[in-house]
Amino acid sequence: MRKITLLTLLLIASYGVFSQSTHTVEYFNWSNPNTFNLSPSPVITGYGFYSDSLSEVFDDKTFYEYNNEYYCIESWADYYYWFTQRFSYQFSDPQLYEYYYWVKDDYGMASYIASYKYLGKYYPSLIKLNFGDLSVKNNRLINDKFFAQNDKKIERFNKQLQTTKDESNNTNIEYKRRYEAPEIFKKDQFRNNKLENNSHRIEAPKTLKSPDSKYNSKNSDKTNK
pLDDT, position 158: 85
Domain contains 53:
yes
Domain contains 176:
yes
Least confident among 18-22, 37-41, 63-67, 191-195: 18-22
Per-residue model confidence as pLDDT tens digits over 126-150: 999 999 999 898 999 999 999 988 8
Domain contains 174:
yes
pLDDT, position 58: 93
Per-residue model confidence as pLDDT tens digits over 59-96: 999 999 999 899 999 999 999 999 999 999 999 999 99
Domain contains 109:
yes
Domain contains 73:
yes
Q: Is the dihedral of CA 178, 184, 185, 190 positive or negative?
A: negative
Give the structural domain span for 199: 6-216
Contact 64, 25 (CB under 8 A): no
Per-residue model confidence as pLDDT tens digits over 189-201: 766 776 666 654 5
Which residues are bridge partners to 127 per DSSP?
A: 23
Domain contains 70:
yes
Per-residue model confidence as pLDDT tens digits over 165-198: 445 444 444 544 555 667 887 777 766 776 666 6
Q: How far is CA 141 from the centre of its chain?
A: 14
Is this model's pTM higher than 0.85 or not? no
pLDDT of 211 above 90: no
Domain contains 222:
no
Domains contained in the chain, number: 1
